[in-house]
Each structure stands twice: as structure tokens, then as C-alpha cells.
Amino acid sequence: MRRALLVLMSIVACTMATPQSLLGAAQKCGNCGCASKCSCECECGSSDCAGTVKKIVHVPTYEMQTRTVTRTGYKNEQRTRTYTVNKRVPYVEEKTCNYTVMVPELRKKTVQYCEMKPVWETKSCTYNVCVPYTEQVEQTCTVMVPQWEEKSVTRLVQVPYTEEKVVTCKVNVPYTEEQVQTCTVQVPYYEEVEKTYTVNTYKQEQRQGTHTVTKRVPETTTRTVMVRGGHWKTCAVDNDCDCGGSDCGNGCRGCTRRVWVPTCETKEVPCTTYKCVSEEVPYSYCVNVCVPEQRTCTVKVRKCRAEERQQTIKVCKVRCEERQQTVKVCKYRTEERQCRVKVCKMVPRQQRRTVTVCKMRYEQRTGDYKVCRYVAEQHQKEVQYTVCVPEQRSKTVQVTKYRCEPEERTCEYSVCVPHTYEEEVQVRVCKMVAKEVEVPCSNRCGCREGC
């Protein structure tokens, strides 16, 4: 930045030196209207100025100079500062708060409601009915009758014909070449390997066990039973009996009857019952025990080894050849031909026909219909409804609050500290050196335009 500023100052100095030389030349030339940078030694408008004039030109010259420049640098310094931090410490505080609860309460009230009761009434009305009837009507109609005619028509027909044309085409001709190819083949071979395997053999063992046997043992007990018995007893009956037997006689006098008199006696009867008795009976049984046994056998294992072999194979390739063949090409030529065509025309014809027409006539009829009319009736009923009654309650809750406690902390931070130092730099300086040159003049004022 400083170097660019110095170069700009040198250019401004050179520019300021140029107008002073121009001012001297203008004073020397007088008021001749020449605004050039040249210097004239003759008067304006004289004929002696037709030759050359002397001109002072400043030529820039550059040279390198050593200058001392003051610069500002920065270096980092570690500093320590102490700051205060407010730390939030929680604590629990009990607080009593009041709240309102809406408690539902059932109440009863008597309401009046209106019930619409239907009442049916019979009414009569007169209405019009459209009754259909048919009539025979004669109509005149126009019928289109087809009529065929023959016409001669000239048509253009495309007649095919064939031409033979020789066509050159490219044909892929296959041919085979023999190539020797090296390939890797997996050749199988067998190796005998000893293999150990486990065989389960079965062995019979005699074992002792017990099983429970239930036996029925007879037991004689005495049982008290009720025995029903009885005997026949002869008893006299009254005269008005209705036995109807042969022993009664005519008047049933001195009639007797045998009656069974039941008795109930208690007897001790011996009774034999069977009681179940369980016994543990030992017995022997055979068990097949599985015993693992290690055995060794020789097994042939198939393996493969890689071998490189050469084989001659035939490779099919294709080469392109040009061949000529004669092809038949189908073309068409247009010919005019005459043909007869049947043309159908529709000719109108008048005909009469009898048509059955359906017509309608109006008739008045009377009918009954039922009309439903609703009559309002007032009723009362008792209904229950729920009302939410506010109730004040209180409860104790634990509230967590925070208090701020100051705490001092120390931290390190970096600061950029500025400092100045001097440095020698090479500066390119532009100087303007005056140089006198001769320039030819051709104007009447003694100066050449644009010099």
C-alpha cells in the first residue's frame, strides 16, 4: 500500500512540472493561439517561422531508492481475568394453594312436554282420470321403394407386373479357424482317510421294580334291615256292603271279609362285603441301554487338482463379401377398364293404411282418503339432571425454587498487542528530465498543430 502511494505521488509531481514549461513557452510565443507544448522563437504570423522550432520535452526516468518505513505488527499475549457467575441453586418449599373442584350433583325437576297424538279422519274428494280408448284411423304415407339400375363405369386399376433387377449386396460368409487354447482342468483323484465315528450299541440289563396290586378281601358284617310282613285276618262287614259275592246271600247278612294286615319288623342280617387292599409286589424287567462306542473306518475322499492342458478348438469367424443376385421387383401400372355396376335408387310411393290410435278422455270420479292430523297434548314428567357445584379445596404442594449465588471464576484469554518497527524497502522513483528537441512547423503562427 505504501509503495503504491509513493508511485502515485511521483506521477503527480511529474504532471505538475509540465504546465510550468508550457507556461514559459506560451509567454515566449505570445498570443498566437498555439496551445501546444512547443517553444517558438519567432513572432506570430511572421514568415520566418516556416522552418523548425525547438521544443523542451520532459522524459521520465526511473531509479530505485532505499527508504525506511515504519510498520505496525501484532503479537499474541496470554492474560488472566476474574469474572463473577451467578449459580442457580435449587431448594424445595412447601406451599398451600386453593383450587376449585366442580362436584357433580343429581337433582330432580318436573318438566312439561308436548306430545303430538295422531288423529285419522276420512275425507272424500272429486278427481279427474284420463281413460284411454282406441280408434281406427286411415292415413296416407309415403314409402321409399328401392329400384335397381345398371350403369357403365370407367375405373382406374393398378395392374401388377414384375421386372428382373441385378442387385449387389454384402453377405457375411462364415469360415472356421483352428486355435490352440490353454485351459485349466480340475482332475479328480481319491485319497483314503481314516474317519472316527460313534455307534450306539444296545445292551440288555435286568432291573428290579415294584408295582401296586389291589386285591378284594371279603369281610362279613351284620346289617340291620327292615322286613315287611303281614297276615290275613277275617273280619265281619256291615249289611250295606257292596261286595256282590256269592257268600253274601240276598241281604248280605253275616258277611265276612279277609283283610291283609301288614307288619314291619327289624332283623339282624349277616352281610358280606369286599374291601380293596393295596400291596407293593416286586418284579424284574429287562431294559435296553444305549451305549456309545467309538469306531474307525477308512473312507475314500474325492479331491481335485488343477492341471493346465492345451486343446485345439475351431473358432467360427465371418468375412464380408460382395455378391450379385437377380431380384424380381413388383411394379404397378395404371390402366382404364370398363365395368357395369348395379345402382340402387329409392323411389317414393304413396300408400294408404289403417292405424289404431290411442286417445285419452277425462272422467270425474269420487274417492275417499284418510288424513292424519296431529293434536298436541300436554304432559308432565319428572327428570333427573346433573349440576356441577363449585367446591373450594386446598392442598399442600412442594415447589422447587432457585436462588442465585455468586461464584468467582478465572479464565485465560489471548490479546493481540500492536507494536511498531522500522523496515528498509526498495522504492521505484520516477523523475522527469528536461530534453530539448527540434520539431518542424508549418502553421502561420509559427507552431505546428498538435505539437
* pLDDT tens-place string over residues 30-82: 444 443 444 444 444 444 445 788 888 888 888 888 888 888 888 888 889 89
For residue 150, pLDDT over 80 is answered with yes
If one counts every other C-beta atom within 10 angstroms of the C-beta of residue 37, the result is 19
Q: Provide the grid cell at 218.
A: 371279603
Q: Tell me, what DSSP letter sits at residue 39?
A: B
Q: What is the pLDDT of residues 223-243, one digit of tens each?
A: 888 878 888 888 877 655 555
pLDDT grade for 311, boundaries at 50, 70 and 90: confident
pLDDT at position 22 over 60: no
CB 435 within 8 A of CB 59: yes
Confidence of residue 442 (pLDDT cuts 50, 70, 90): low
d(CA 316, CA 176): 4
Task: Tell me the longest C-alpha to C-alpha distance in the chain.
Answer: 221
3 state SS of 16: helix
Give me the amino acid identity at 266.
Answer: T
Closest CA to 304 of 192, 187, 191: 187
Quote the CA–CA distance of 6 and 71 in Å, as a whole number: 15
- Residue 57: CA atoms inside 13 Å, Cβ hemisphere, count? 11
Closest CA to 421 of 78, 76, 77, 68: 68
* Phi, then psi, of 136 in degrees rounded to 5: -95, 120
Q: Which helix (H) or strand (E) holds 214?
A: strand 52-236
Within 10 Å of residue 387's Cβ, how many Cβ atoms?
A: 10
Please check whether residue 36 is in contact with residue 23, taking contact to mean a CB–CB distance below 8 angstroms: no
Kindly report, residue by residue over 380-429, the tens digit of the pLDDT.
889 888 888 999 989 898 888 888 889 898 989 888 888 888 888 888 88
Task: Say how many Å lie between the first and final Cα of the chain, rounded.
Answer: 37
Q: Is the pLDDT of residue 20 over 80?
A: no
DSSP one-letter code for 237: -
Predicted structure pTM score: 0.21
